[in-house]
Structure 1
Amino acid sequence: PKAPPEKEWKDLGTGETSAEEFRYAEKIRKGGLVAFLILFGLGMALNLTPCVYPLIPVTVGFFGTGVGEAESGGGRLRRVGLATVYALSLAASFALVGALAAVTGSLFGAVMSHPLVLVFVSVVMVLLGFWSLGVFELRLPGLPNLDIRSGIPGAVLLGVTAGVVAAPCVGPFLAGLFLFVAQQKDFGFGVKAFAAVGLGMAAPLALLGYLSSAVARLPKPGPWLNWIKRFFAILLFLGAVYPLLGIIGVDRALAVAGTILCLGGLWLAVDSAPGRRLFRGGRIAVGILLFLTGAFLLRYHPSSPSLVFQPWDAERTDEERGAHIVDVFAQWCVPCLEMEHSVFSDKEVARAAAGISLYRIDVTNTPPSPVRRWLEKYGVAGVPTMLFFDSTGREIRELRLVGAEGKKEFLERLSRYRKRIRVNPGGV
């Protein structure tokens, strides 16, 4: 499809730099191998975002317990194959996101982060933990001789699950890519682009999975290996809490995670299995560390947000509001909750935002038509997104924040905004 004219693109309300961003995305769409490598590299960079961190213990736990091992043995080639299947499965889930963008153009993360999907992801992680411990067996329908833990089925399931967990993590580029695909309605490009990003993100995780499975094969079966499997199973249970963060709330999530760590630490520390003195000492040390971490989480209570956002009213225009900030938020959005409790709760941030009108659009549920039209007008492709408007009601596009950022960076953004609208801290 041909790119829309620059004027049509600007009418979407995304600011003066949108045409330039559009041309950049258009170059990627036509860039072939070079474009694939760029997208692959950006996918690898997504591993630095907070939302991907929980995938590390999940991946290590799954492969480290020997879940990816074939019962008949395997070797290096098989471990490479399972890690590759895991990476391709994760990339396939990202490709699905690209397909949804091209077909529906809907708000990024709304489908993949639906509460039912997140609960399913959490349940899968818990089941993987129990399977790794050998509590029960699960065999695929029609394939009675194929245990889900025997290799490929488990790697596929984990890869798709990991993709569902990571998909809502919207970085600035990923949101722009989603918006571009949604505008172009280019199904083929959407699938290929997001698959490339998914492969890039999956590559380090797959390597980590391979190394974990290699370590798990080193010792002979016995107390040491059984203890390692229990440790990795605890990581899987811990990873199951993360998808529920936006559903049960931060306080309850911390309480559940703390309980898992306390019970798991005691389980690992008091294990009476025989072993060498070094193994027994290390086992106790790890157990105590987990227990103390769990106790800290049980006693920790995050601060309440200091910033007060007014509900966004569709009856008023942006021009009528004058200088203001709009935060697009969702309860199921983990980066939104991270900003809420790590940045918006800070008193220094509250002082810096004093005198500025703050509004919030909550898209936890399907927003009404006026809200959807406003989001489409300004090209909001995901959450969290924060838009900054000057006194004339026009968005200051270069200040738009997509994704989460730390306190220092957000304070610098507020400082630049105050200079643009000439409002000093405290509203003076």
Structure 2
Amino acid sequence: MTKTLTRLLLLPLLGLLSLGASANFSFLKQEPQVLPVDQAYLFDFRQQDNALQLTWTMAGDQYYLYQDKFVLKVEVDGSAELGPIQYPSPVIHTDEFFGDQPVYFNDVTLTIPVLEAQGEAAVTVTYQGCLDKVLCYPPTKQTVYLSAVAANDGLLTTAAPAPAAPQTQQDGLAALLAGDGLLLPLVTFFGLGILLAFTPCVFPMYPILTGIIAGQGKKLSTGKAFALSMTYVQGMALTYSLLGLVVASAGVKYQAALQSPAVLIGLAILFVVLSLSMFGLYNLQLPSSLQGKLANAQNQQKGGSFIGVFVMGLISGLVASPCTTAPLSGALIYVAQSGDLVLGGLALYALSMGMGLPLLLLGTSGGKLLPKAGAWMEAIKHVFGFLLIAVSIMMLDRLWPGTIMDVIWALWGVALAGYLLHQNKKTAFSWMQTVRNVVVVLGLFASVSYGFHAVMNRGETLASAQHAVQFIKVKTVQDLEREVAKAGAEGKTVMLDLYADWCVACKEFEHKTFPQPQVTARTDKMVLLQADVTANDAQDIELLESYQVLGLPTLLFFTPEGEELNQLRVTGFMGPNPFADHLDAVLAQ
């Protein structure tokens, strides 16, 4: 029985792997995409006084350039003299035909001293690279025209190096997945999932699962509690993993669509309906005729329970979907860059299972800790009914944050406190009854106070918002380009904040990071733009797809010349201090 159950619970993961290997799903192919050479190696150059910098940015982590294939040649239509190429440190790559070769992955910048340049001197650079284990490109040439440089000794001005951009956590995790090992990345993502289990995004799943366990009746063994909890966690993990792969493959618009008003309201209604079963208004089960047939197939278990719990797990995966955390972003970045959906899917699955571990422990313990008989069993079920209503309020809070939702939360707290006081009066008089009364009354006053202050401080909140970080609102790609050009005319760097009401981490940025002094001291030197993509309309989708945004929150940075600093893009939440360091790196560009 145990082996059979284990196999059944592993079916979602095996299905995910089989999908990833299937050739019938074009977006799940793992083979690296072979690009034209000019797209595989994006070329750029910059001349500053007598220093010429040539930069190549690779399209993926499997592309590389040979160090010894760079050749410079001065064309005859101008007079110029160049010094020796200054190479950055290469990595040694074992080539199937040439043995160990010094190469560059990801990006490389060569610096060349210009000893002298007259007129329209042109320099041709030849380079060659390969797509690892797929093909090698023929030697390719690019031509650069030099600005005039008076005769000099070729010594480059020693400038203080720009501070290196701190590697964001999501980029570090993407690099970890790109490494050679498999066990360490999966263990890392599993551990990070455990940490995420205690975040606001996962919290709604606790009352959902405990409500399911409480609804199983008085005779619930530890074994069945474990089986039900594992079934629920598997459903949640499957939804979370597949949704992540879809977002990485097709864009954030699908993530946003799942947070549309229709979906959120639908989920809120669903959890209210489920809460009614906790209050005893109906029993959530299949018709007796079908229940009898399934009972034999499920070894006399309650008809449809495992199927229903698995479906609830699938639906609950949507609850955590708007939270673009650094681990999720790291997996999405890796999938988007490499196309390896099998490893990306395994990382997302490991992350989901880490998130589900506390849920699994809670659900399993429910078989022992929940009362097995008596009035308290019904009281516990009613409390879980209140918690399911709280999940509904959380769904609606993504649509209508503010005073109204604060008042609704206060009313929910008052109702729960009133119910607990009523139940406590039915218990025998003792010092424990008194303690419970005191605790519940304090909760009642806290709820009333919360609602009162939400109403009374509404004007103060609006006033303080006027003194918060001020953004220029943009809606379309054209709006963004216009504001970036305007900022460029003033010689200023631009930060674009991509925001949505359903994005929990976006609000963390708004309240915890942006207002801090060490951050405002740097953002005051920038032009701050914000695009609210909550509506997920055609203009929002066009903007997100134009910049290949994988999830929210995402912050984009543009130089005064209008170029996006793609390597300094932020995806996922950052605290005030690391974000201030990140802004230093942006301003140094």
TM-score bracket, normalised by the shorter chain, equals: 0.7 to 0.9
Query: 1:227-250: CA deviations, max 9, x gaps?
Result: 333333222222221121121223
Letter in 1 for 2:264: L
**Aligned residue in 2 for 1:426:** none
Q: Deviations over 1:216-267 (max 9, x none)?
A: 13xx522333333333322222222112112122322221111011111012
Q: Alpha-carbon deviations, 1:278-331, whole Å to 9, x = none? A: 453244234223312322331243734322211235232646533011001112
1:43-85, CA deviations, whole angstroms, 9 ceiling, x for partnerless residues? Answer: 223224332233334444443xx22x356x3311111111111
Q: 1:162 aligns with which of 316, 326, 345?
A: 316
Aligned letter for 1:173?
P
- Greater helix proportion: 1
SS in 1 for 2:223: helix
Distance 1:230 1:390, change over 3 A: same
CA distance in 2, matches of 1:276, 1:85: 41
Contact 2:499 2:534 in 1 (8 A): yes
Q: Within the alignment, does 1:270 sit opposite 2:436 as a pair?
A: no
Say whether 1:311 aligns with 2:345. no
Tell me if structure 2 keeps the 8 A contact 1:386–1:402.
yes
- 1:47 maps to a residue whose letter is A
- Pick closer, same or farther for the CA change 1:347–1:56 going to 2, 3 Å: farther
Aligned residue in 2 for 1:109:
255
Provide the residue aligned with 1:43 in structure 2: 193
Q: TM-score, normalised by structure 1?
A: 0.80
The answer (yes or no) to whether the contact 1:95–1:195 under 8 Å persists in 2 is: yes
Inter-partner Cα distance in structure 1 for 2:512 and 2:244: 31
- Gap change, CA 1:7 and 1:39, over 3 Å in 2: farther
Tell whether the 8 Å contact from 1:108 to 1:178 is kept in structure 2 after alignment: no
Mapped to 2, the partners of 1:184 and 1:399 lie a distance apart of 19
Q: CA RMSD in A?
A: 3.8
TM-superposed deviation, 1:100: 1.8
Unaligned runs of 5+ in 2: 1-29, 43-55, 61-105, 108-166, 295-300
Question: Aligned partners of 2:171 and 2:507: how far apart in 1?
Answer: 32
Deviations 1:163-185 (A, max 9, x none): 11112111123123223324545
Matches of 1:205 and 1:416 in 2, distance apart? 35
1:401 and 1:32, CA in 2 relative to 1: closer, same or farther beyond 3 A?
A: closer
> Aligned to 1:360, what secondary structure does the other structure show?
strand
Instruction: Map 1:170-249 onto structure 2 (within 5 A).
Output: 170-217=324-371, 221-249=373-401
Report if aligned partners of 1:270, 1:284 keep a CA contact under 8 Å in 2. Answer: no
Q: Is the 8 A contact 1:176 1:381 kept in 2?
A: no
Structure 2 residue matching 1:51: 3-state secondary structure: coil
Q: Is the 8 A contact 2:322 2:502 kept in 1?
A: no
Q: In 1, are the aligned partners of 2:518 and 2:580 still within 8 Å (CA)?
A: no
C-alpha separation between the residues in 1 aligned to 2:251 and 2:338? 9
Structure 2 distance, partners of 1:351, 1:49, is 29
Mapped contact 2:174–2:333 kept (Cα < 8 A): no
Cα distance change, pair 373–229 in 1 and its aligned pair in 2 (3 A): closer
Cα 1:298/1:178, change in 2 over 3 Å = same
2:487 maps to amino acid:
R
Of structures 1 and 2, the one with the larger relative CO (CA 8 A, separation 6+) is: 1
CA distance in 1, matches of 2:176, 2:276: 47
1:132-165 Cα shifts (integer Å, max 9, x gaps): 2212123336735689998424532442233111
2:558 counterpart residue number: 389
Equivalent position to 1:56, from 202, 206, 209: 206
Q: Quick one: structure 1 residues 197 and 234, their matched pair in 2 at CA, closer, same or farther if it must change by over 3 Å?
A: same
Structure 1 residue 419: Cα displacement? 7.3
- Write 1 or 2 for the structure with the bigger share of strand: 2
User: Are the equivalent residues in 1 in contact too, given 2:41–2:59 (CA < 8 A)?
Assistant: no
Find the partner of 1:136 among 274, 282, 303.
282
Corresponding residue to 1:91 among 226, 231, 237: 237
Q: Mean Cα displacement is larger for which, 206-215 or 154-163?
A: 154-163
Among all aligned residue pairs of Structure 1 and Structure 2, give the percentage whose two residues are the same amino acid: 25
Is the CA contact 1:102–1:184 (under 8 Å) kept in the aligned structure 2? no
1:294 matched to 2:447: yes
Q: 8 Å contact 1:98–1:187 — kept in the other structure?
A: no
Aligned partner of 1:293: which letter? A
Alignment of 1:339-378 (within 5 A): 339-344=509-514, 353-368=523-538, 372=541, 375-376=544-545, 378=547
Number of residue pairs the alignment of both structures matches: 411
User: How far, CA to CA, are the matches of 1:10 and 1:53 in structure 2?
Assistant: 41
> Once the 2 structures are TM-superposed, how far is the Cα of residue 212 of structure 1 from its aligned partner?
3.3
Residue identity opposite 1:36 in structure 2? L
Contact in 1 for aligned 2:252/2:544 (Cα 8 Å) = no
2:286–2:303 Cα contact (<8 Å) kept: no
